[in-house]
Amino acid sequence: MVTLRRLRLNGAPRAQSGPHSLIYTETAPSADSEQPHPIRKLGEPAALMTDLAYDNLKSAEIKLKIWLISASPHLTAMTLENTRHCSFTARLDCRYLVHAPEEVDDRTLLVAALHGFSANPEAMLRLTAGMMGPQHAIAAVEGPNQFYLGMGSNEVGYGWATHKHPDSSVRLHHDMVLHVLNEAGREYGIPASRRILAGFSQPVGMNYRFAATHPGEIRGVIGICGGIPRNWEEGPYRPVTAAVLHIARREDEFYKPEVTERYADRLRLRAADVEFHMLEGGHRFPSKARPIADAWLRRVMGWAD
Question: Residue range 136-141: average pLDDT?
Answer: 98
Residue 293 to residue 223: CA distance in whole angstroms: 11
Same domain, 21 and 143: no
Question: How many structural domains does the chain have?
Answer: 2
Residue 28 to residue 8: CA distance in whole angstroms: 10
Question: Residue range 236-255: average pLDDT?
Answer: 98
Confidence of residue 289 (pLDDT cuts 50, 70, 90): very high
Confidence of residue 120 (pLDDT cuts 50, 70, 90): very high
In a domain, 168, yes or no: yes
Same domain, 162 and 40: no
pLDDT given at position 64: 64
In a domain, 183, yes or no: yes
Half-sphere exposure for 169 (CA within 13 Å, toward CB):
16
C-alpha 61: how far from chain center: 42
In a domain, 187, yes or no: yes
Residue 238 to residue 210: CA distance in whole angstroms: 10
In a domain, 30, yes or no: yes
Which one of 6-10, 71-75, 187-191 scores highest in mean pLDDT? 187-191
Average pLDDT, the chain: 84
Same domain, 247 and 286: yes
pLDDT of 302 > 60? The answer is: yes
Q: Burial level of 58, CB count in 10 A (0-12/13-18/19+)?
A: exposed
Residues 27, 36: contact at Cβ < 8 Å? Answer: yes
Residues 247, 224: contact at Cβ < 8 Å? Answer: yes
Residue 225 to residue 232: CA distance in whole angstroms: 17
Same domain, 100 and 212: yes
Determine the residue type at 127.
Answer: L
Residue 108 to residue 135: CA distance in whole angstroms: 6
In a domain, 77, yes or no: no
Q: Which domain holds residue 57?
A: 13-71
In a domain, 205, yes or no: yes
Confidence of residue 52 (pLDDT cuts 50, 70, 90): low
Same domain, 175 and 33: no
Helix axes 121-132, 289-301, angle to 10 degrees: 70
pLDDT of 1 > 60? The answer is: no
Sheet of 220-224: strand order equals 96-99, 137-141, 110-114, 195-200, 220-224, 243-249, 274-279
Bridge partners (DSSP) of residue 278 are 248
Residues recorded for the chain: 305
At 168-190, the pLDDT tens digits run: 999 999 999 999 999 999 999 99
Same domain, 254 and 190: yes
Same domain, 67 and 205: no
Same domain, 151 and 198: yes
- The SS3 of residue 23 is coil
Among 23, 55, 71, residue at a domain's last position: 71
Least confident range of 44-58, 123-137, 142-156: 44-58
Closest-CA residue to 277 (of 286, 233, 208): 286
pLDDT given at position 74: 57
Same domain, 208 and 284: yes
In a domain, 1, yes or no: no
In a domain, 86, yes or no: no
Confidence of residue 75 (pLDDT cuts 50, 70, 90): low
Residues 8, 30: contact at Cβ < 8 Å? Answer: yes
Residues 163, 179: contact at Cβ < 8 Å? Answer: no
DSSP 193: G
Least confident range of 66-70, 158-162, 226-230: 66-70
pLDDT of 15 > 80? The answer is: no
pLDDT of 44 > 70? The answer is: no
Same domain, 32 and 131: no
Q: Burial level of 197, CB count in 10 A (0-12/13-18/19+)?
A: buried
At 146-160, the pLDDT tens digits run: 999 999 999 999 999
pLDDT given at position 57: 65
Q: What's the angle, vertex CA 143, arms to CA 285 and CA 198, rounded to 5?
A: 45
pLDDT of 210 > 60? The answer is: yes
The region, left, alpha or beta by phi > 0 then psi within -120 to 50, assigned to residue 65 is: alpha
Same domain, 122 and 268: yes
Question: Residue range 219-231: average pLDDT?
Answer: 98
